[in-house]
Amino acid sequence: MGFSSTLQVVVKLATKLVVGLGNPGKKYQKTRHNVGFDVLGEVAKQYGTTTPKSRFQGELVEAMVGTQRVFLLAPHTYMNRSGSSVRAAFDFYKFECEDLLVVCDDFNLPLARMRFRAKGSAGGQKGLNDIIRHLGTQELSRLRIGIGAAPDHWDIADYVLSRFTDEEAPEVKHVVKEAAQAIADWAAEGIGYCMNKYNSNG
């Protein structure tokens, strides 16, 4: 089978794209802004079928979640320019908007709270905003992970780049694992199911 034929088969089998947002490099590991990367890493750990590859200005892992083939993309463009990476993967695999789920942090949600949404504005999340800008639509499913509100004396930009405290870490570890299961549910059942199941918790 030639390269073009192989590529056609790959594109045909591609069914879902999950994008985890964060910033690349050790400097940003385990910061609040990188919780999307952490969730994606947990999904890859549980369901991944390939080693990470450098693709689409990011890191790409293939996974099988139940009967669904899922591509896991961590853009390495830095948070505010995530859209170019997502657009490249989106166009290559010919995804539709309903095939895409974006996982990101949200300082408007309490720590370790999950919230699914089927569409809407970026709500101040600059990575999500850039994806919306590149794809030209707000009709994008997203899973927001609460990182807690910034203390009064903190600048938001500094706060999201800070690390979780020792007291917060166990809650974050738990929600990362819960989010991986939620993504499996999304792949199998869709966004409406996940909104009903997970958003009812608060």
Cα–Cα distance between 72 and 90 in angstroms, integer? Answer: 12
Cα–Cα distance between 164 and 161 in angstroms, integer? Answer: 10
Cα–Cα distance between 143 and 131 in angstroms, integer? Answer: 14
Catalytic residue among 33, 134, 153, 174: 33
DSSP collapsed to 3 states, 16-75: EEEEECCCCCHHHCCEHHHHHHHHHHHHHHHHECCCCEEECCEEEEEEEECCEEEEEEEE
- Any residues with CB less than 8 A from the CB of 114 and at least 6 apart, and which? 143, 144, 145, 146, 175, 178, 179, 182, 198, 199, 201
Active-site residue, 76 included = no
Residues annotated as catalytic (active site), given as ranges = 33
